[in-house]
Each structure stands twice: as C-alpha cells, then as structure tokens.
Structure 1
Amino acid sequence: MPETMKIAIIDDEQDMRQSISQWLALSGYDTETFASAEEALKVIGADYPGLVVCDIKMPGMDGMTLLKRLMSMDSALPVIMITGHGDVPMAVEAMRIGAYDFMEKPFNPERMTDLAKRAAQARRLTLDNRTLRRELSDGTVLIRKLIGTSPVMERLREDILDLAQADGHVLIDGETGTGKSLVAHALHACGPRAGKTFLTLSCAAYGEDDLAAKLFGPPPEGTTLPAVEEARGGTLCLEDIEALPTTLQARLLTFINEQQGDVPELRIIAICNQQEPDKTCEDSMRPDLFYRLAAMQIVVPPLRQRGEDILTLFNRFAEQFSEEYGCEAPQVSAKEAAQLLQAPWPGNVRQLINTAERAVLQSRRGGGSIVSLLLDESEEMGQAITTEGKPLKEYVEAFERMLIDNTMRRHKGSIASVMEELSLPRRTLNEKMAKYGLSRSDYL
C-alpha cells in the first residue's frame, strides 16, 4: 500500500478514536484522528489521499451531514460509517447517499481491516485514474514524458509544439512501441483544443459494419453519438488507420471535405501501425485520403536512432520497477551499456520497458545479466544483438553520462557525495554535467 494512503478517523469519543487508530496503524495504515466533523473538514477535501471512517452520531455536525458534505466535494471518496445498535436503517440511508460501507458496534477488528483494505484499493484506483486524466490533458506533462536529449527527440518535441498550434489533420507514423499514442495526446493537449474532447477509436478493433456505426452512425445501442459527432470541437484519434476499410475511407474523406471554414470543426489525428514488410501507410490508403491526412505528418523515431537516450530510459524504467518490487536497481556495466546502445530494439520503447523489468527481477534474485536478457530477446525475435558499430567515443560518453546520472540520483543531488564516489574534482564534475545537460536541481 502506498505511503500516502491515509485513513481519517472521526469520532467524538476519544477511546474509540484511539482504539480504531491503533488497530489500523498496526495494519500498516497512516491514520489521523478528529474529534468532530468540523475539525475534519478543515483537512479532508477533494482528492484526499485516503479514506474516512466516521461515527454517525456526534454532537454538532453529525455523521450523516458530514457524509453529504464529503460526497458533494468528492463522490468517489470511500466513507465507512460506524453505527450503534439499532441504527441500521440510518446506515442503509448512508449507503444510499454514497457511503462505502458501515460497521455496527461492537465491530470485529478483522472486518474493519478488510473493509479498509478494499476501500483503500478503490481509492488508489480512483486517484490514479484522476492523475492519468490530468496528465493526458496537460501538454507540458506529456512533453516531459517524451524523455531524451537526442537530436531526433528534440526535433520530435518541436514538431509536436508546432503542429499542435496548426489545427489541421495529422498523420502519425512510426514503428510499433515508439509512443505514437502519447504523441497524439500531446498534439491535442498542447493546442487550442486542449480541454475539449479527445476521443480514440481503433480501426482494427471492429468489423466494417460496427466500425461504420461507431464512426458515422447510427450509433450502436448504449451509445449516444457516433464518434465524428461526439468529438466535434475536439480531436478524434483514429488508431490503426491502415485497417480502415476502403468504403469507410471514402466516407471519411467526404466528411473531411464537407467541414466548413478554414479551421475544421473536428481535428483528426490518424495513427498508422503498418507492420507488413515492404509496405507503407500510403500503400494501405486511398491516395486522396492519405494526402489530406499527411499534409501534416509526424514520424516517431525508433529507439535504435536515439543514441544515449536508450541508457537514460533504461535507468528511469529500472528505477521505477525497483521501487515497485522493493529492491535495488541493477548497476549497468560498461559492457552492458554498450550492448544496450547496440541492440536493434525491434519492439522499441515497449521492449526496453520489458527488458528493464526483467533486469530488476533477475537482480532481485541475485543472478543473470542484462547481456543475457538481450541475447534471449534477440533469439526470440530473430534479430542480431548488434547493429552497425558506433565510434568508441560515443560509447564512452554515453556510459560516462549514465554513470554520473545514476550516481546523482542515488545521492539525491549531493555534489560532495558524487565527487567522492566517482573520484572527480568539483570543476571536472561541473564541466561533465554541463556537457551532458545534467542539472543538480533535477535530482533534489
């Protein structure tokens, strides 16, 4: 359970507050207690990072009134009500208002722990979904997710910022696993349509009739509007555009041509996932539709073209997985760094994430190497482990940057600790950090 998950305990009886708090604390929760509803409302609001355990009968503002206030602020906040004997009808009413569940005094501590566990899981899911929605609507957050300082990534970020403002239709192309969906979200969130509808529809997920109904209508039962209407004023993201049947390509072209004005009512971002060898997205589409969509085009670079970004990404993902699994991130040797840089990465970033997770898991078991993982993956995919050789200087600089970056992260930006571990004088460390674009503020 995450450290930030709290349980607010509200009861006017001190002994009851303390006993509930002690039991839940022993179960691993971060508890805080309040003697009144008024006192609790000063702390608990929308996006409260936890759940609430509240007595129904209290002087001043009672539990039912507090529940209504909490539900008006955040209807997804789990509130567990404590009832006295004979208050079950009131507890049922609390459930109708929005309470997560209730416990009748005297209650079983094990049931309380079980309720708290389930409520905490539900709250974590709610908060994670809210965070994701905020990130998908915040262009600056999305741009930061496109990690890397390689020239191709700098150019990609510039293209996104430029095309986001242009407001025309866009075609996004690139190999599988490169992050095309993230680029589509960033295009929407960085432009004038940010805050408007962003709707995604996969052209490969449905048969022709179902896809026609979802895209143009009449909508299938249970939905209110076809996609071209639901996303009007915002952005419609069509994934797997190469799978759009020819008849629907013609209808989509007609729809685009019939939009009035210089600024389209609906912006279309088409994502091509063409995987057939020796075949391009253009080969799979009507020429007139292709050129309408590809007037503005972004090609997301494959991982093998991103140079030392590979090491930066590997370290970032390895750190995330090491936190998740509660172990140390594996230390990358010079040989392993060179192999990571040389690997062909046919699965791109998605494959790199998988490799980082497997490296953390085998490190936790105390065996294996990153090179062995790359050999296993290359055999599974029928790929050679190395691509064309790079100059030795590139490998040395990439490894040096990774080493400084890892050490700065481990010491949370402590220059003195990094100098000691790497045996570098202050001036040399400053020069190398400036050379590699590393800033101490990023590690504090």
Structure 2
Amino acid sequence: MARMMKVAIVDDEEDLRQSVSQWLALSGFDTVAFASAEEALKVVGADWPGAVITDIRMPGMDGMAFLKRMMSLDSALPVIMITGHGDVPMAVEAMRLGAMDFLEKPFNPDRMTELAKRATQARRLTLDNRALRRDLAEGAQVMGKLIGASAPMERLREDILDLGQADGHVLIDGETGTGKTLVAHALHAVGPRAGKRFVVVSCAAYTEDVLAAKLFGPTGEGSGLPLVEEARGGTLCLEDVEALSQGLQARLLTFINEQGTPAETRVIAICNTHGEGRTVEDALRPDLYFRLAALKILLPPLRTRGEDMLTLFARMTEQFAEEYGCVAPVITAQEAAQLLQAPWPGNVRQLINVAERAVLQNRRGTGSIASLLMADNEDAGPAMTTEGKPLKDYVENFERMLIDNTMRRHKGAITAVMDELCLPRRTLNEKMAKYGLSRGDYL
C-alpha cells in the first residue's frame, strides 16, 4: 500500500480485538484497538484517516448506536460490522443506516482483509477529493483577491494559472505595492502543492546570521525546524531576495541544486529593486538568478490598469465603511478622473491607504479625495491632471463605477438600482451589457 491507512477495531472481547488487530497489521494496515465505543469516540472522528471495524453487541454503547454516531460525524466514513449468526438481520439494518459491509462470526481472515482494503481505499479517495476541493476553493479565494478586468490583470491571471501548474522555481518582479506576495500565494494555491506548506520569510528583515539560522538551521543547539525543512514538499517564498548576502546565496543555490528535477520544494523569489537604480540581476549571482528566474512574472503597476483603480477604490471604501460602521463616500466624476490620473507610486497598497482615509474623513464630514491624493503624491510630481485622455473615457469609467457600486450596494436588486440612478430598465440593461456587468455577480 502506497500510504498506510488506519483501521480502528472496536470490540469488548480482548482476544478477538487482538487477533483482528494482529492479522490486519501483518497485512500492512496501521491498526488501533478500542475496548468500547465510548473509548473509540474519543479518537475516531470526521477526519479519521481510515476505516472502522466494530462489533454489534457490546456493553454500554452497542455497535448500532456507535454506527449512528459515526454516520452523524461523517456519513462517508467506512464502517464494517462484526456480527454473530443471530444478528444478521441487525447487520442488514446497519447497512441501511450507512455501514459499508458486515462480517459474520466466525469469519474468514482473508475476507476481513479484503473488506478492510476496499474500505481504506474508499476512505483515501474520499479524503483526497475533499482535500482537492479545499485546495480549489483556496485557489479560487486567492485568485478572487486579484481584482480587475484590465488587459494586464487578465494576462496576470493567465500567467498564474499556467505557471502554477509548472514545476520550476519562480521569480516575481514588480514595483512596491503591486501585490507580489499575494501572487506568490496564488501560484501556490492553484498548483499541485496547494495542500502543502506555504512558508514566507523576508530576507531583508533579519541580520545575516539570524536569517541563516532561520533558513537553514542553527549551527549549534537549537529548537524548531529550519524553514527549508518546514517548507519541504511545498513552497518557500523569499521576499526581498535581493537582500541575501553572497554567502546565503551560495547556500540557497546548494539547497536548490540538491533537490534535483523535479524539485521537491518550490522556491518563489520576490524582488523589490524598482526605483533603486539596479536590477535583481545586479544583486544576485548569475547561477542563482538563472535558477530562480526559470519562470518569471512581472506585475503591472496600478497606473497601467485603467479603470481597475476605480473598481479597487470602490471595493476598498465599501470594506472600510463596513469595518468602521459608516457610509462609503460617493465619488464624483471629477474625483474619478483624479483617481485615474494620479501617479500611484505606491500602487495598490497606496490606493488601499487612500481609500481608508477617504472613509474616515467622510465619516467626519471633512476633506476631499483631491487633498488625499495631493498629500500622497507631493513627491511624485503633479498628482492629478485631466489632460491626455478623451472626456468620453472619463465619463464611461465613472458611469461603470457608479453602476457597479449601486448594484453591489443593493445586491443586484434591479428596481432599487433603477430608482437610485433614475434610469429606465432598458437603459440600465444596455449600460450593464456595455460595461460587462452581470446581475448574477451581485446576488
């Protein structure tokens, strides 16, 4: 058996309990025996990684009551009943209640082994399917945080889905605040390592000695697994990889080379060198760079993502308004144009900060988005301008944002949206179709 599965044996007769346990152990199963149903219930639950073999007639909680408890915990848990000759009708009733099969005393040990094999195989398939659904749900959840319908974001999502299934190490590049760690998490969540550990460490947050101990383990006495071991079989995400010293780069390269192909542990390196007058190629030794950059993702800056910034701003102000128990600010067309023209040197992280401050100042009834943008971008040149883009584009961006916000606020209730925006049904439908908005997304 590729993975040894557990079999819980529940019987008040010690001789039978021991003989069944020994026989199955010799057949390759990991067995654990209990003298009563009450004792078994302390250990066997919904996440039990195997099957259960239980006698029907036991003092205290009998096999039928025990079966009902098992089925209430997990109806897919395989339970095999042991019955005496006179209890066959009861065993048939147990199968109606959810038992997988029954063994009549005296039973053939080979028959018991065959049933145990079928039961554990069924359990393995059930648990694997559940794990796959959890992994897919996590992947969908993380991908859902990559908000935006612009062409750069569509390409980014396609790259994540493609590279997530690949096996090579990945280098993620991009300006500060573009969401590089989120993308690293998404790569892990949509790939075959999704059910394994995802370990993140900032290479710039520690001294060389401390980082060496955290990554590869202390040279002397110490406790806790080094991160390369903690991430084994999963993903090791190195933020600010350009901060690694030459010595640690050499140790990292050795770790990568010793894994062979395919790599047991995937390394995702995140660099943050934009605006510093150098590249990650300058910071890393060439052999390490080419190992890490086998696959590469470049994140788009917010200023290239068009109306995504309006969608993001609306989503963030709604979330902060709910958090602070107040109303989200209503964005005017002029403010929408200012948001679109702001340089956003801090990208999405900066936009989130501005959205939170916009909610707080709206709660006080003071300030404006223009003042927030001016303060945030005073070192980045002119913050806002209405030049360089046709008026029609601003109007359409604002109109889409307004309909999207109103639909979200009313949870897709068309009549309420029509009333608030003073639009007839046909006009609203036409505009929603024009901007790619679907009522089903808001229900």
**TM-score class, shorter:** 0.5 to 0.7
Match of 2:426 in 1: 427
Q: Using the alignment, how far apart are the partners of 2:442 and 2:400 within structure 1? A: 14
State the Cα deviation string for residues 107-166 of structure 1 (Å, max 9, x = none). xxxxxxxxxxxxxxxxxxxxxxxxxxx899811100001001011111111100100000
Q: Equivalent of 1:384, from 375, 382, 385?
A: 382
Q: Using the alignment, how far apart are the partners of 2:360 and 2:247 within structure 1? A: 48
Structure 2 residue identity aligned to 1:397? E
Q: Which runs of 4+ in 1 moved over 3 A?
A: 134-137, 218-223
Structure 2 residue identity aligned to 1:404? I
Quickly say closer, same or farther: Cα 1:220–1:164, change in 2 above 3 A.
farther
Q: Using the alignment, how far apart are the partners of 2:320 and 2:213 within structure 1? A: 41
Q: Tell me the SS of whatever aligns to 1:204.
A: coil
Q: Using the alignment, how far apart are the partners of 1:348 and 1:324 within structure 2? A: 22
Match of 1:142 in 2: 142
Match of 2:248 in 1: 248
Whether 2:314 is the aligned partner of 1:315: answer yes
Do the aligned partners of 1:214 and 1:220 also contact (CA within 8 Å) in 2?
no
Deviation at 1:386, TM superposition (A): 3.3
Q: Tell me the SS of whatever aligns to 1:427.
A: helix
State the Cα deviation string for residues 365-412 of structure 1 (Å, max 9, x = none). 112111111111122x34320377223232111101001111212322
Quickly say closer, same or farther: Cα 1:220–1:383, change in 2 above 3 A.
farther
Do the aligned partners of 1:193 and 1:233 also contact (CA within 8 Å) in 2?
yes
Match of 2:41 in 1: none
Do the aligned partners of 2:135 and 2:194 also contact (CA within 8 Å) in 1?
no
Structure 1 residue identity aligned to 2:404? D
Structure 1 residue identity aligned to 2:138? D
Match of 1:302 in 2: 301
Quickly say closer, same or farther: Cα 1:271–1:223, change in 2 above 3 A.
farther
Mapping for residues 349-428 of structure 1, pairs under 5 Å: 349-379=348-378, 381-386=379-384, 389-428=388-427
State the Cα deviation string for residues 250-297 of structure 1 (Å, max 9, x = none). 22122212222x310110000111244321112111112111111201
Q: Tell me the SS of whatever aligns to 1:274.
A: coil
Q: Tell me the SS of whatever aligns to 1:138.
A: helix
Match of 2:208 in 1: 208
Deviation at 1:435, TM superposition (A): 2.1
Q: Tell me the SS of whatever aligns to 2:377.
A: helix
Q: Tell me the SS of whatever aligns to 1:237.
A: strand
Structure 1 residue identity aligned to 2:147? I
Do the aligned partners of 2:344 and 2:351 also contact (CA within 8 Å) in 1?
yes
Do the aligned partners of 2:135 and 2:195 also contact (CA within 8 Å) in 1?
no
Structure 2 residue identity aligned to 1:244? L
Quickly say closer, same or farther: Cα 1:312–1:276, change in 2 above 3 A.
closer
Whether 2:327 is the aligned partner of 1:335: answer no
State the Cα deviation string for residues 290-333 of structure 1 (Å, max 9, x = none). 11111201111111111101011111110111111111110000
Structure 1 residue identity aligned to 2:405? N
Q: Using the alignment, how far apart are the partners of 2:177 and 2:219 within structure 1? A: 31
Q: Using the alignment, how far apart are the partners of 2:359 and 2:290 within structure 1? A: 45
Do the aligned partners of 1:274 and 1:280 also contact (CA within 8 Å) in 2?
yes
Structure 2 residue identity aligned to 1:286? R
Q: Which segments of 5 or more consecutive residues in structure 1 lack a partner in the other structure?
A: 1-44, 47-72, 74-133
Q: Which segments of 5 or more consecutive residues in structure 2 lack a partner in the other structure?
A: 1-44, 47-72, 74-133
| Alignment: residue pair count | 313
Deviation at 1:228, TM superposition (A): 1.6
Q: Tell me the SS of whatever aligns to 1:298.
A: strand
Do the aligned partners of 1:135 and 1:142 also contact (CA within 8 Å) in 2?
no
Deviation at 1:218, TM superposition (A): 3.3
Give aligned-pair identity as a percent: 73
Q: Tell me the SS of whatever aligns to 1:407.
A: helix
Deviation at 1:363, TM superposition (A): 0.8
Quickly say closer, same or farther: Cα 1:275–1:396, change in 2 above 3 A.
same
Quickly say closer, same or farther: Cα 1:221–1:330, change in 2 above 3 A.
farther
Query: So what's the TM-score if we normalise by structure 2?
Result: 0.67
Do the aligned partners of 1:219 and 1:225 also contact (CA within 8 Å) in 2?
no
Deviation at 1:426, TM superposition (A): 2.0
Do the aligned partners of 1:342 and 1:389 also contact (CA within 8 Å) in 2?
no
Structure 2 residue identity aligned to 1:383? G
State the Cα deviation string for residues 178-208 of structure 1 (Å, max 9, x = none). 1111111111110000111111121111111
